Structure 1
């Protein structure tokens, strides 16, 4: 006798009320504990060549991330061009995928490799410091790329605004003058690049950060062995800032005829990382414009219905800490956006952050710290920034504790003192004719 297979039970009838109840919002489960950020510990060693080597063990890393930052601030446009050629032709490397870049204060070389190849990679990083002379073809190729890139960089509203703001704050320094004309770049020779290599590349004051699943002492031993042959290099160059800083202009327009968008950059005062008010100011900045749920973003995009990108963040340049606010909007909306921005500065003092705003900002900043564990590259960038800003390598845990305990009253005081008075300097890159007819009305 064949067995009968049981049929599935018929689906229970669900009334419209049942469906509505199932679709109703349900409370989210509580977030996990954030008592500790749990970033891996950093171990460092000062090498004989003046380099500070930092090793961070990340047991989840599949590769080793390496970042080398060397200090140098160009004094002229020509030096800026030579520094760009150095970053492209000399620091790029040959065997490994070595990416290089330059800021106003640093040469930055970044790469990654398998753990087994770390010793070879470190030896390649030392080549620019051991007398390697690059071929004329390699320099010529880098020179051609730079001559093609210079007009693009000169046309960048973000780069233009940043250089103008820094010149406004620090004076007409060569490091903020941009690149020279293409004909000046074309005149630079291989001998010029070699002379610049000997003059600009220095290891005292430089930082080497290595993140991977390797014992830190072993990593530091490899770094010490690799850089042992580089010898003592000249001491790092002094800061280009001499004498008193200029009084910054409150408002400056850089004309871009026909521009459909305006790019603006503002500077606010800030406190250094070791100040007791730093965590409170970080929370005030987040509430103001530091993330997507900030007051300013909600006011401009949701209340006014304008399509505008705006964000504020901490910045350090030439040893000076500040908060920068950067944004882009349509030319016709520039006046409205800037007026609303200044009004929001006033409201940060007259209508202090609510406890709920502070709590949301607190969760965001703590979450961003925890997110550093997402990749070795993020960890390497974070610890490199700590080194560049002379911040202790164990700073994150203390900062997280301070973020958890800072009160709404402390955040209110920081907002009133540093954001309430408004920006100390503002640069707008856009069509000056349109802006003068109402685009920058305050």
Structure 2
């Protein structure tokens, strides 16, 4: 409640809550004509917020009215009984994964939060279930199927939705990798180098000056070429599959050697480096935008209207990180340039990076931070996660229609310092997602049907 009482806090915390308040008010409050307008200027100074702007919802501890959807109820998992593993040994990891893949939020955060954590939990499970044996994978495919079913069941019993991710029981078996036993692995790989590279990873350096990732690739390549003449054919696609399968074996070995928390941290940082290199949004051909904006040289109502309408459709897809937003803006800008739009319409129409993520009244969006993030569940405040809302960063207009040389590691592409409001203002540790649940149930999900 500290956030709602602090009407004089700076933008980083205050606008985080206004993001939720304004979306929810579109469904839960009277028409906008009956409300006081949100402030449109002076956002770097203390702002007085009229109570009429804020939606009326029950205080914590009181029964929610019918319009507020309830949280998914947990149930006792019904396991196959055929997976020889005690899931309580990784209970913290299971709880974290279930929280990151919470049922109502999973579709919106699958790319950045849920699936990277689910992948990490599978790697760590694979290392733990084989820890007392001389193999690094689940060699029995039937057992792999049973264990995977149990993992999904346990997560579901805690309110998770792992179906948004593409993993299967095959991820536990090592696939076509020719080395699956620990003795051959440790004879083939420089394990000291691998462990030193991945024991502690700097999340700010790994993505651009990688240490752990090259060590994993090197180890995977070494075991993928073991007994090459009998195990690997010359088909390029097969070699790629084998290398990918062998990376899974390397992850399993690391999971055996590192504490679960250290392994999970390392795997999540590596996943963040990967997902932040690609825009996860889907862009349809912007025919109408190109038609309206092709010959503009000054602000044009028809161009900006068409551009804003197109982006409004894109931004409903999911929550993305600030670095993904840079790539997405550049990808879309390249599509416009290829269609003949040479003027920087982002600048003409005031398009910011946040415009590529979920919005409230088109004024404030939520960009997730590029560093690994988690959804946190608290009995008193519900689900929460941290958004980067402090800086209105202009969307970058590409210099050409090609994306081949694009890199976020170039100095000129550096992001401003990420906000630290969660440490400066103890009462504001991210979004209170008891309201986001309402957003999803009443505003976002119906648009996707």
Give the TM-score, by structure 1 length. Answer: 0.29
Q: Which has the higher strand share?
A: 1
Q: Which has the higher contact order (CA 8 A, sep 6+)?
A: 1
Larger radius of gyration, structure 1 or 2?
1
